[in-house]
C-alpha cells in the first residue's frame, strides 16, 4: 500500500545540503524546495481558492488560531473539512494556534524585539501552564483552552494534510534557564501531541517543531529529542534570531542535526534573500505572507527585480509586469493598467498583484530546483 504521506528525494546537491524532492500527500504533490503561501483565514488575501489552484500553488498555510475563532473547527468539520470548506483540492498545512496566542501574550515578534524583553501578558491570555494556554476570544470574549491535545483535535477537524503540534513560544529576550524550561515543556507538549495524533491519524502527517532559540546547545538537544519521535517532518520554529545572520547561523548548526530523509519546513520566513540562503541548508518548504503583502503594497517581484508599481515610470508601459511571466495577470493585463488600478485604489489591483507575486514565487522555486539539479547550489 502506498503510504498517504511520504517524502521522495529526487536529487541531492553535492556541494550543499540542498535537495530537490516531492512531498506526497493525500491531496497531491508538493515539489520542494517549495514556497508555501499563507491563507490565514482560509483565503490567500485577495485571491480565491480556484484562482490559486490555477496558479498551481501546491501548499498553503492556514492558521488554526484564526480558524477556531471563526468559523470554529466544528463548523469546518461540518462543512467536510478545510479542503471542502474553502474549495481546495491541493495540500494544506495548519499550525497549532500557539504562535498567535503567544504573540498575544508577549506581543508580536517585532514589537517584542523592540520592547527589549519586557513581558506584557495582556488580558487576552489568562493562563499559561503545563496543561496549555487559556485565552479570551477577541471575537466574543469566550474563554478558549488550547492544549497540545485540543490543538490536535482541532487540526483533525480542519483536516489539513500536514499538522503541527502546540509549542510554547518564548520571547526572544529570555535567559538560558528559562529558555531551557520552555524547551522541555515544548518537548513534553510535542510528545502529548504525537500521542493524540496517533489515536486517529486521519491520513494527516505531523511535523515536529524544533526549538531552542539561537542557543546551539538547546537546538542540538531539540533535534536529538524530536528525531527520536515518530514525526513525519520537521518545522524549524521558536525564535529564529533577531536578524537574518542569526537565523542563518542557527540553521547552519541545526540542519545537519535533523534526519536527512524527512522534509524540513522553516516557519514564517520567505523573503527572497533568506530563501537564497536557506535552500542550501536543506530547508524544503517555507511559508510567509511576505510576497502577498508586498503585492498589496505595490511591490511586484519580477525576473528584472522588484518593481514599485506606483512609480510614474510604469504609467505608459503597456507590456506585462514581467515579460517572462505567463501568470493570469501578466497574460491579461499590462503593468500600465495595474499601475492605474493602484493609483485609483481599485481592489482588483491587490488581486492581480497578489496573483503575480505568487506566480513569481512558484517560478522562482522551479528555478531553484533546476539550479540544484544542475549542480549550481
> Per CB under 8 A, does 326 bind a second copy?
no
Grid coordinates given for 37: 503561501
Specify the DSSP element, H or E, that contains 29.
strand 28-32
Alpha-carbon span 333 to 348, nearest angstrom: 11
> Per CB under 8 A, does 101 bind a second copy?
no
- Is the CB of 80 or the CB of 108 nearer to a second copy? 80
**How many whole angstroms from its chain centre is CA 174?**
24
Alpha-carbon span 111 to 131, nearest angstrom: 27
SS (H, E, C) 117-149: CCCCCCCCEEEEECCEEEEECCCCCCEEEECHH
> 24 - beta bridge partners?
6, 29
> Per CB under 8 A, does 344 bind a second copy?
yes
- Is the CB of 22 or the CB of 350 nearer to a second copy? 350
Q: Give me the 144-183 binding string for a second copy, x by CB under 8 A, dash otherwise.
A: ----------------------------------------
CB of 5: closest distance to a second copy in angstroms?
26
Nearest-5° Cα angle at 70, 67 to 73: 55
> Per CB under 8 A, does 41 bind a second copy?
yes
**How many whole angstroms from its chain centre is CA 158?**
16
The CA–CA distances, whole Å, from 207 to 80, 131, 343 equal: 23, 21, 43
Residue choice 8, 48, 271, 376 for contact with a second copy (CB under 8 A) = 48
> Per CB under 8 A, does 89 bind a second copy?
no
31, 161, 287, 322: the catalytic one is 287
The percent helix, strand, coil of the chain (3-state, each to 5) is 45, 20, 40
Q: Which stretch binds a second copy (CB under 8 A): 116-124, 224-232, 255-263, 338-346?
A: 338-346
Size of the site for a second copy (CB under 8 A): 41
> Per CB under 8 A, does 348 bind a second copy?
yes
Assess whether 95 carries a catalytic annotation. Answer: yes
Q: Which stretch binds a second copy (CB under 8 A): 190-198, 223-231, 254-262, 310-318?
A: 310-318
Residue choice 5, 35, 65, 85 for contact with a second copy (CB under 8 A) = 85
Please name the residue ranges forming H helices in 228-318: 244-254, 272-278, 290-296
> Per CB under 8 A, does 49 bind a second copy?
yes
What single DSSP character describes residue 44?
B
Number of other residues whose CB lies within 10 A of the CB of residue 65: 23
> Per CB under 8 A, does 336 bind a second copy?
yes
> Per CB under 8 A, does 339 bind a second copy?
yes
SS (H, E, C) 182-194: HHHHHHHHHHHHH
- Is the CB of 136 or the CB of 296 nearer to a second copy? 296
CB of 73: closest distance to a second copy in angstroms?
13
CB of 70: closest distance to a second copy in angstroms?
5
CB of 94: closest distance to a second copy in angstroms?
15
> Per CB under 8 A, does 346 bind a second copy?
yes
- Is the CB of 197 or the CB of 339 nearer to a second copy? 339
Write the CB contacts of 373 (distance below 8 Å, at least 6 apart in sequence): 10, 11, 20
Q: Residue 291: which of 39, 33, 100 has the closest Cα?
A: 39
> Taking a C-beta distance cutoff of 8 angstroms, is the pair 206, 193 a contact?
yes
CB of 31: closest distance to a second copy in angstroms?
25
CB of 27: closest distance to a second copy in angstroms?
17
Assess whether 287 carries a catalytic annotation. Answer: yes
Residue choice 89, 201, 224, 316 for contact with a second copy (CB under 8 A) = 316
Residues that bind a second copy (CB under 8 A): 41-50, 66, 70-71, 75, 78-80, 84-87, 315-316, 318, 328, 332-334, 336-337, 339-341, 343-344, 346-348, 350-352
Active site residues: 95, 287
Amino acid at each position: 500500500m502506498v503510504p498517504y504521506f511520504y517524502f521522495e528525494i529526487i536529487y541531492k546537491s553535492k556541494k550543499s545540503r540542498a535537495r530537490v524532492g516531492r512531498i506526497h500527500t493525500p491531496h497531491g504533490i508538493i515539489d520542494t524546495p517549495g514556497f508555501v503561501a499563507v491563507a490565514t483565514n482560509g483565503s490567500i488575501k485577495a485571491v480565491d481558492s480556484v484562482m490559486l489552484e490555477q496558479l498551481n500553488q501546491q501548499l498553503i498555510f492556514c492558521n488554526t488560531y484564526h480558524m477556531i475563532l471563526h468559523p470554529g473547527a466544528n463548523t469546518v468539520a461540518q462543512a467536510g473539512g478545510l479542503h471542502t470548506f474553502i474549495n481546495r483540492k491541493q495540500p494544506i498545512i495548519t499550525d497549532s494556534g500557539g504562535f498567535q496566542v503567544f504573540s498575544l501574550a508577549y506581543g508580536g515578534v517585532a514589537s517584542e524585539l523592540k520592547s527589549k524583553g519586557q513581558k506584557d501578558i495582556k488580558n487576552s491570555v489568562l493562563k499559561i501552564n503545563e496543561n496549555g494556554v487559556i485565552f479570551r476570544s477577541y471575537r466574543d470574549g469566550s474563554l478558549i483552552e488550547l492544549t497540545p491535545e485540543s490543538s490536535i483535535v482541532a487540526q483533525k477537524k480542519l483536516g489539513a494534510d500536514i499538522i503541527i503540534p502546540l509549542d510554547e513560544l518564548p520571547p526572544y529576550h529570555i535567559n538560558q534557564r528559562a529558555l531551557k524550561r520552555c524547551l522541555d515543556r515544548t518537548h513534553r507538549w510535542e510528545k502529548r501531541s504525537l500521542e493524540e495524533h496517533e489515536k486517529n491519524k486521519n491520513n494527516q502527517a505531523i511535523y515536529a517543531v524544533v526549538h531552542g532559540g539561537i542557543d546551539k546547545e538547546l537546538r542540538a538537544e531539540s533535534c536529538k529529542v524530536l528525531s527520536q519521535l515518530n514525526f513525519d517532518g520537521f518545522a524549524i520554529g521558536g525564535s529564529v534570531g533577531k536578524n537574518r545572520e542569526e537565523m542563518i547561523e542557527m540553521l547552519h548548526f541545526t540542519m545537519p542535526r535533523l534526519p536527512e530523509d524527512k522534509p524540513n519546513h522553516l516557519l514564517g520566513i520567505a523573503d527572497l534573500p533568506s530563501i537564497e540562503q536557506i535552500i542550501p541548508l536543506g530547508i524544503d518548504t517555507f511559508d510567509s505572507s511576505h510576497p502577498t503583502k508586498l503585492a498589496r503594497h505595490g511591490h511586484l517581484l519580477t525576473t528584472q527585480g522588484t518593481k514599485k508599481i506606483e512609480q510614474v515610470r510604469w504609467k505608459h508601459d503597456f507590456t506585462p509586469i514581467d515579460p517572462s511571466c505567463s501568470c493570469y495577470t501578466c497574460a491579461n493585463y499590462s503593468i500600465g493598467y495595474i499601475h492605474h488600478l493602484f493609483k485609483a485604489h481599485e481592489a482588483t489591483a491587490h488581486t492581480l498583484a497578489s496573483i503575480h507575486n505568487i506566480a513569481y514565487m512558484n517560478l522562482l522555486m522551479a528555478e531553484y530546483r533546476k539550479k540544484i539539479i544542475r549542480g549550481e547550489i
